[in-house]
Structure 1
């Protein structure tokens, strides 16, 4: 299996895992009678700080998928995974790191780290798109 496929499957799996953790987190709140299942804000601003960070990390994975996942899918569709294989695991690692930092903290340094990890992903995808065009 190519690194491109592993990175794509990893990204999808990571997003699913974050979604399941978020479901579990909210289910505990509902089970404790603290909220009804239909009372959660989509933004996550109506729960604890951890709940908010988890909500945003999960949403961020979904929001970024068209860029990273889309570029990986494009490479497979145009049979150019040889161009993406060398950095595919790096882009996936940056995605994981961005999510983990997002969940752990909203301190200024953490926000700056998240941006750095996002810029790594964005830069790699722009690099790949340039290679596809050339």
Structure 2
């Protein structure tokens, strides 16, 4: 049994968020194991981790936690109501844009990187709005 593009994107969005959690836990675990930080001093925003990568990782993960539920809800709604023909064509693009946004966030905070991140987010937002409009007209 193969996954529909919508189901693949739904699982991909969740898997990507979990991967970011694993990276965060690994980074923090390594810092604790190396004796570079105490286990109970990590700032929620990552601001006190050495370098800027920790802070960018926390933000990339938080951004997924903030936005992925919106995409997941619409994808799940479309699949449950038998309307995945609406979401299937753009679902892989949404997933790719989400991953691109996070990867760019992890790599750099340069002006160009921020523009790329914004463009990737804007693509996701447009797809979500398109899906909402299309799904609301099919009810």
Instruction: Find the residue that maps to 1:86 and give its secondary structure.
Output: coil
Q: Is the 8 A contact 1:68 1:122 kept in 2?
A: no
Compute the displacement of 1:110 (Å).
0.7
Please list, as runs of the form range in 1=range in 2, the aligned pairs for 1:69-108 lying within 5 A after superposition.
69-108=72-111
Residue 6 (structure 1) aligned with residue 11 (structure 2): no
Deviations 1:12-58 (A, max 9, x none): 01111110011000001111112221211111111120111111111
Structure 1 CA distance for aligned equivalents of residues 77 and 47 of structure 2: 35
Q: Show structure 1 runs of 4+ deviating over 4 A.
A: none
The answer for the alignment partner of 1:115 in structure 2 is: 118
Structure 2 CA distance for aligned equivalents of residues 29 and 57 of structure 1: 19
Q: Mind listing any 5+ residue stretches in structure 1 that lack a counterpart?
A: none
The answer for the alignment partner of 2:26 in structure 1 is: 24
Residue 132 (structure 1) aligned with residue 132 (structure 2): no
Q: Which has the higher helix share?
A: 1
If the length of structure 2 is used for normalisation, what is the TM-score? 0.93
Compute the displacement of 1:119 (Å).
0.6
**Paired residue for 2:53, among 47, 50, 53?**
50
Structure 2 CA distance for aligned equivalents of residues 59 and 37 of structure 1: 20
Structure 2 CA distance for aligned equivalents of residues 68 and 40 of structure 1: 30
Deviations 1:71-108 (A, max 9, x none): 21221232211110000000000000000000000011
Q: Mind listing any 5+ residue stretches in structure 2 that lack a counterpart?
A: none
Compute the displacement of 1:59 (Å).
1.1
Q: For the aligned residues, what is the CA RMSD?
A: 0.9
